[in-house]
Amino acid sequence: MSEGAAKKEEKPRKFQAIKGTRDLLPPETALWNRVEQTAHAVFGTFGFGEIRLPIFEPTDLFARSIGLETDVVSKEMYSFLDNAVPRLVSLANAITDWPDPTRDEAEFSAYKNYVSNFIREYERAIADDELHSSSANKPALQGIKDSFNTLSGTSLKDDQSKQLARDCVRQIYLAMRIAELGDYLTLRPEATASVCRAYIEHGCSGGNGRRRGATGSFIRLGRRCWAAATLRRLTRK
C-alpha cells in the first residue's frame, strides 16, 4: 500500500469531553451563573467572604486528612508525579520492569546491584532535599531495605532459597510502587482538606469572628464531580 493510500484511510481523531465531564453551554451557563450569584449574595448577607483554592494539592494532604484506606484515596483520586528525580525514576523502572531477576546467578547479582544503587540514591535524594521524607517514602524505603538485606544473604542454590529470593523481589516491587520519586500532586477530590490547609497557612484563626467560605470543583475518578460547585464555612463567630 502506498503512503498516500495509507494516509487516506486514516480517520481523523474525534476529540470529546472526557467521560464523567461535560461542557456547559448557553442557555445552561446563564442558569449556573444565576445560581452561583444568588448563593454568593445569600452567604454574603451572613458575613461570609470567599476563598478561591487551587485545583490541586500535595497528595499527602488528602492521604493524611481523609485516610490511606478510604475509597477516595485508594480508588478515586487523580494524582500525578511532578518534579521527578530522573536518576531514581530510571533505576526504579529498570528494577520493576526486570523480567526475571532469579533466572540465574549473573542476573540475580546484577539485580541486587541495581537495588543497592537505588537505595543509596534514594537516601541521598532525601538527604539533599530532592525528595520529601513523606508518609509514603519512609515505609517504602524501609521495606526496600529490609527486603534487600534478606536478599543479600540469599542465593539460588536450591528451590527453597530461590523461593525466598522471589518473595524478596516481590516485596521490593510492591514497595517501589508506593515510593514517591518526586512531588505527587492530586486534583482536589473534596474541599475540607484544602480549606483547612488554607485556614492554617494564612492564619485565619485569629478570632476576629469573620466567616469564610470556598467554592470550587471536585475531581474524582469514576464520579461525575467535575463541575460540582461547593461552599464550605471556614470560621464562625
Phi, psi of 31 (to 5 degrees): -65, -45
Confidence of residue 142 (pLDDT cuts 50, 70, 90): very high
pLDDT digits (tens, 9 = 90+) for 7-16: 556 678 889 9
Residues of the chain with pLDDT > 70, as a percent, come to 85
Range scoring the smallest mean pLDDT among 38-42, 198-202, 229-233: 229-233
| Topology classification of domain 47-82+186-237 | BirA Bifunctional Protein; domain 2 (3.30.930)
Whole-structure pTM value = 0.60
Q: What distance in Å separates the CA atoms of residue 212 and residue 42, rounded to the nearest whole number? A: 13
From residue 112, give the alpha-carbon distance in Å to each of 17, 45, 144, 171, 208: 46, 66, 11, 14, 59
Lowest mean pLDDT among 40-54, 93-107, 112-126: 40-54
What is the predicted pLDDT for the residue at 139?
85
Task: Tell me which H or E stretch contains 60.
Answer: helix 59-66
